[in-house]
């Protein structure tokens, strides 16, 4: 009986190996000079996944309805977690409200130029430790938070919204601002809204605009760990 690894490798056997002349960082090690465009895999993906991308230009006039925000948080709330520990929490600021203003205060220069125009800013928190101890609340808390944010991202796509996740902010300052205790960790932020009108993401052209996201990924062969 073939293993799952064998089946996947056979399915993607048509993906060529990276040409030697392009060079690999480590001889004999992983090499990723070629990326596969979305067109190659789009037929395999759900449209919500195939259509997902992360803008840095949001429609500054679009306001999220309370029902949309509720749907986003419900999607995160129903994500799976180890032992149903649900080690996540979110600081949510809608553009124009006081929480949003407080979140914007701690953005770095690189994110401060675009993130405030999103309809919603969310700080993503992970429950790392049991209060007043060094015992892990869950060794999978960061992993599970990632799942919750991924669920939120797909729900946003279903609502015709976009999400850009980022780390360019003052974590310590934001934690102090919102009195986040030491056993919780401010991990990442997400900007949510409607993408501003702009050309569709380039998928194959080498002359891609800097503000248009890459629609390329490493091949399946490239992400399968070699099994002896």
User: What does DSSP assign to residue 40?
Assistant: G
- Look at residue 71 and tell me if it is in a domain: yes
pLDDT top residue among 5 and 163: 163
Here the CATH number for the domain that contains residue 99 is: 3.40.109.10
- Look at residue 205 and tell me if it is in a domain: no
Same domain, 35 and 112: no
Average pLDDT over residues 152-173: 98
Same domain, 28 and 86: no
Q: Is the pLDDT of residue 222 over 60?
A: yes
Q: Is the pLDDT of residue 24 over 50?
A: no
**How many independent structural domains does the chain possess?**
2
Q: Is the pLDDT of residue 125 over 80?
A: yes
Q: What is the rounded radius of gyration, in angstroms, for the C-alpha atoms of the chain?
A: 20
Q: Is the pLDDT of residue 135 over 70?
A: yes
pLDDT band of residue 216 (cuts 50, 70, 90) is: confident
Same domain, 168 and 126: yes
Same domain, 158 and 126: yes
C-alpha–C-alpha distance, residues 181 and 98, integer Å: 21
Q: Is the pLDDT of residue 87 over 70?
A: yes
pLDDT top residue among 64 and 35: 64
Q: Is the pLDDT of residue 111 over 70?
A: yes
Burial (CB count within 10 angstroms: exposed 0-12, middle 13-18, buried 19+), residue 69: middle
C-alpha–C-alpha distance, residues 34 and 163, integer Å: 27
In terms of residue numbers, what domain contains 88? Answer: 66-193
Segment 181-196, tens digit of pLDDT? 999 999 999 999 999 9
Same domain, 146 and 84: yes
- Look at residue 206 and tell me if it is in a domain: no
**Lowest pLDDT segment from 30-39, 59-68, 195-204:** 30-39
Q: Would you state the pLDDT for residue 128?
A: 96
């Amino acid at each position: 009986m073939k293993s799952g690894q064998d089946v996947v490798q056979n399915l993607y056997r048509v993906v060529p190996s990276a040409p030697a002349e392009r060079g690999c960082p480590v001889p004999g090690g992983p090499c990723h000079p070629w990326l596969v465009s979305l067109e190659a895999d789009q037929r395999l993906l759900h449209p919500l996944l195939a259509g997902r991308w992360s803008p840095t230009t949001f429609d500054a006039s679009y306001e999220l309805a309370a029902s949309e925000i509720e749907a986003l948080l419900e999607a995160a709330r129903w994500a799976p977690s180890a032992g149903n520990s649900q080690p996540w929490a979110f600081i949510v600021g809608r553009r124009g409200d006081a929480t949003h203003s407080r979140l914007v205060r701690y953005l770095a220069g690189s994110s401060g130029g675009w993130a405030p125009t999103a309809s919603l800013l969310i700080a993503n928190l992970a429950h790392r430790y049991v209060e007043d101890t060094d015992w892990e609340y869950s060794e999978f808390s960061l992993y599970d938070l990632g799942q919750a944010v991924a669920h939120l991202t797909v729900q946003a796509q279903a609502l015709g919204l976009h999400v850009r996740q980022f780390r360019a902010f003052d974590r310590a300052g934001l934690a102090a601002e919102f009195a986040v205790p030491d056993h919780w960790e401010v991990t990442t932020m997400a900007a949510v809204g409607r993408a501003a009108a702009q050309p569709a993401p380039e998928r194959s052209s080498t002359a891609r605009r800097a503000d248009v996201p890459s629609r390329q990924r490493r091949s399946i062969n490239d992400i399968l760990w070699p099994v002896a």
